[in-house]
Each structure stands twice: as C-alpha cells, then as structure tokens.
Structure 1
Amino acid sequence: MMLPDISWSRRGLIVGGVATGLVGCGRKTADDAPKAPAKAASQTIETAVGGDWRSSADRARDMWRHPVESLKFWELKPGQTVVEFWPGAGWYTEILAPFLASTKGKLYAPTLQADASDPAAAEVVEAYRRKLSEKSRLYGDVEVTAFGPTSGPVAPAGSADLVLFLRNIHNWMAAGIAEKAFRDALAALKPGGILGVEEHRGEAGRIQDVLAADGYVQEAYVVQMAQEAGFIPAGSSEINANPKDTKDHPFGVWTLPPTRLSAPRGEPAEPGFGHAKYDAIGESDRMTLKFVKPK
C-alpha cells in the first residue's frame, strides 16, 4: 500500500489532500509491485538510493530531493544510529533502513503519536509498520517510537549520531510541537551529533506565520528554534533549492507536486484547475541545514 505524504493543519491530519480530522505520490505502476524481501547486502549511500526495492514513483522524486547529496551533507556514515522523525510512508526509510541494516547501524522511527480516536493517523502508522514487517530482511530491526504532544523519548538519551527532520517542521508548527521536536532531538543525540533539516523555505523578510499555514518556513526562523533548543548551526546547502518556486500558490506549498492540490485542503478537488503552471515549477524550494549538539 502506497500512502501519500502527510501533513498537519488546524483541521488535523491531511492525507492525500483530504482532511481527516486530525499531503502526495502518484498511482502505482508495475514497477511498484511488491518484491520478495531480500537480505540487506552491504550498502553505500549510492547503492541504497539506487536499490531496486524503491518504487518508480519514489525514484522519480530523487531529482527534487537529492538523497545522495543530502545524506552526505548530513554526514551519514556506516554503522550510525539514526533517528528519522515522522517518516510518513517511508520515502527516506527505503534508503536509510537498508543502508544501516547492512552496516550494523540502527534506525529509530518516531511516527505520528496516534490514538484510537484518530483512525486516519493510526492507519498511517499501521501502514508504515506493515512496510517494515514486509521488508524486515532488507530493513533490519527498525525501532518504531512516537513523537507528538505528549510523547516520551524518541530514542535512548544520548544514543544517536544523526537526527533527521525531513519536511515536517511546518507540520509541527501547525500542531504547536515544533519546539518540542528540537528538544527531543537534542536529548536523543550524542554530544557532537548532527541534526539534519530539509524544509520548505519561506520568503526571507516576511513575518513568519507561527502556524505555517502555507507550508513554508523562513530559514532564519528554523535557525532560531534550533539555537533556542541548544543546537549550534554547522552549515547550509543549496542542494534542494528551486529558484522557480514563487511561494505564492493558491493552496500553499501543496499546490505544487507531489501533492498537487486544486482546492483548499479538506475540500473536493476542482476538476478544471490548471495544474500546468505549478507542475512546471516542480517541487518546492527547500532549505537544507545542519546543526550540531554541543560536546
């Protein structure tokens, strides 16, 4: 089962652009048919990104997300302990888990903190767990934890070499838990450990909406939150920049691929909406940042 990107708004969890009360990949193709799980062979970042277990839809997004370059910028190494916050349907897990499993590393995956009163969020988590189970020989022992308003540690204190925030800070701002995410990441990291950030980049100089309703966050705002939590800025990259992104789209960042909203979130799609303009832009302009926990 392929799940779309997820997002959080004041309406709650957004799955596939539809509000569920708590955003998008294309349809399956023949290349996406389940493959027999294989035991993880020794991987490099390049071979993990090139793995034939990744779906064609996921591989098509490499031109926008630059996983090889990004992971090297964040200093991913064999045998590390890594924490991937809110992995969603597992786009990056498909790369991280085989790499770490084959190099005697460890992956923690703090998913949505879901409960029985929120079936849509619970299904996102359950689908992710099914993926881990179905590919356990390839993925190794990925440990699912939770992150949310009342969650505990995302990984044992001081255990992680690398923590990743991958296009989720806007979700946490909408839910009022962004500051908690930075604090929880700091607690999980070893002294000298790295926090890697990929996030939709807002227009510099504007007043930042604290709920990030359009999905964009100013880079200076992210740096400020990280520093307030105790992190030290350690670098930035334009790996995931997109100068075509004007950041003024009718339905926020979700107007762009891969979500391609054509109506306000939670409302039915508009059949006559002109997607061509936004498809020509491609995926969003993104900051790529690195922070370090003080030694």
Structure 2
Amino acid sequence: MRLLASTSVVATVLALALPAAAQVLPTTASETPAERTARRAAMTPPVLLEDAALQAAVTSSTRPAADVARDVYRHPVESLTFWGLTPGTTIVEISPGRAGWWTAILKPYAEATGGQYVAVNNPAESMVVADGTADMVLVARAFHNWHRAGRTAPFLQAFHKALKPGGILAIEQHRAIEGTNPDQTASTGYVSESYIIKAAQDAGFVLEGRSELNANPKDDRDHPYGVWTLPPVRTSAPRNGVATDRPTPLTEAERAQYDAIGESDRMTLRFRKPA
C-alpha cells in the first residue's frame, strides 16, 4: 500500500497542524550546540504521535479486507493528512453509509487519540454535536445526491454552524468536467469543483487547499450506469426506474473495461471556517 504520495505536501500540511510552540525553535547566539540539542530532544513533536495513530488505524487488522483493497484508490493516509486531521479532535462524518469506509478508520483514530467520532445521517435534523464544537466535518461522495434534492445549501450551512472557528470542512467528491451543469451531471454521480467551491463559499467557508490525490485520468465519466458502473459498486445491468440507464447489461469485455478504470476521478478539497 502506498502511504505517502508526496512527502513535501504531507510535511507542509503537518507543519500547519502543529501548535505554534512546536513550529518555532527559538535560539540565541549564546546557546551552545549541546544546549540546543538538549532543548530539542525535550520536545515531543506531535507529528510522530499523529502519524503513529493514523498509520495504526489504517493498517489495523480490524478493517474489512474489501476496505483495505480500496486504499490504492482512496489514499486514506494522504487524504486525511491533507485535510489536516490531528489527534484529539471531534470528527463529524456526514452520511457514512452502511459500509462505513471512512468510519472504520476515523472512529478508532478518534478513540486512540482522545478525540470524538460522530456520524450524522441527516444534517437538516441534527448535527449531533453542539454548535461551534466540531474540529472537522468530512463529506465523501454525497454532493450529487444533495444537489438533486436541493439540500446542498442548507447542509453546508449546518456544517458551518457545527464547526469551531478555524474548523475544517473536508470534501471528497466524484468530479464532473469543469463547465458542465450539475442539473445534468448529478444524476450520473458527478458535479464540478466550481459548483462545490461556490456553494461552500456561499455558506461562509474559505477554500484553503485543492489536491489531486484522488484524481483518475482514466475516468472519462461516460458510463452506461453513471459512476456506479465503476468499482466498488460495479453496476452491470439497468436499474429499475432509472431512465438514463442503458437498457442492456454489460458484456464480459465491457465489465473488464470499466473495472480497469478503477474508482472515479475525484476532487479533494479543504475548506476552513474563518476564525
């Protein structure tokens, strides 16, 4: 399993996550090399603690084998590091689903580091946590559904209200070609980055980072049963009541072709609630 896609990117994000005291190493002209070595040795860099806890959660034997097999596409260590996950935080996952792919990592991580993991299925009803107490809200592969139901704006407002000042909104989403209309692409599972960025900014968030960690140039988005044609869902025949589906099942060769693409091309975005 590839754990770090870009050492420089990870190092930069982790540096941003460090407390100010850990980032600054004051020195004076009168300090001897031995004194400087002793002072630095006395520090406990949170980077090492964070890496150990996150690595342990991702490599845990309790994770389902099917989940682990998807790490090559979803890059859990890199993605969570990019989003700025740190020990002891309150993490709210939106609509984790029955499979709970992120849940199997985030919940043990929170428990191991003294944090809190919260799953929220209907943000319109309750965010579960008190207003202004969440450190991170994670949304994975949900905006296409929300757009069709007119829920994008109210849900983002709920996230903003739940987060602390300075809190992070982390987004992973199937990515449509830029310039396309979400009214036309959402039914296939894809929406554009600009659509999400504008919606988040309208809710009061500031875009802090964009990553290509989960990009897949092999995904041309032209699939007979939408994004669900691709792994892990692997829809291979028309679904009842879905008018846009091709009326005939995939052939064996077509199934192999879509499996070879892998999982979708996805945007990976980090927003912050202004302090």
Give the TM-score category using the shorter length.
Answer: 0.7 to 0.9
Structure 1 alignment gaps of length 5 or more: 1-41, 112-145
SS for the counterpart of 2:61 is coil
Within the candidate set 112, 116, 137, 1:106 is matched to 116
1:287 matches 2:250: no
Q: What is the distance in 1 between the residues matched to 2:216 and 2:54?
A: 23
Contact in 1 for aligned 2:120/2:127 (Cα 8 Å): no
TM normalised by structure 2 equals 0.75
C-alpha distance in 2, partners of 1:82/1:232? Answer: 19
Counterpart in the other structure of 2:149: 175
Cα RMSD, aligned residues only: 1.9
Work out the CA distance in 2 between the residues paired with 1:172 and 1:207: 15
1:212 matches 2:186? yes
Amino acid at match of 1:164: L
Query: For 1:92-149, what per-residue CA distance to the aligned partner results, in whole angstroms no more than 9, with x for missing partners?
Result: 11000111001110011002xxxxxxxxxxxxxxxxxxxxxxxxxxxxxxxxxx43xx
The letter of the residue matching 1:237 is S
Look up the match of 2:56. 47
Q: Report how many aligned residue pairs link the two structures.
A: 218
Aligned residue in 1 for 2:231: 257
For 1:78, the aligned partner's letter is P
- Are 1:158 and 1:189, in contact at CA under 8 Å, matched by a contact in 2? yes
2:258 equivalent in structure 1: 278
Large movers: runs of 4+ above 4 Å: none
2:91 maps to 1:82: yes
| Contact 1:173–1:211 (Cα < 8 Å) also in 2 | no
C-alpha contact (below 8 Å) 1:201/1:217 kept by paired residues:
yes
The structural deviation recorded for 1:264 is 3.1
Q: Match for 2:57: what amino acid? A: A
Partner of 2:78, secondary structure, is helix
Which amino acid letter does the alignment assign opposite residue 94 of structure 1?
A: A
Q: Which amino acid is 1:221 matched to?
A: Y
Partner secondary structure for residue 209 of structure 2: strand
Q: What is the CA distance between 1:202 and its match in structure 2?
A: 0.3
Bigger relative contact order (CA 8 A; separation at least 6)? 1
1:210 and 1:280 map into 2 onto residues whose CA distance is: 26
Which structure carries more helix by proportion?
2
Give the counterpart letter for 1:60 in structure 2. Answer: A
**Partner Cα distance (1:54, 1:253) in 2:** 25
2 CA distance for matches of 1:53 and 1:43? 16
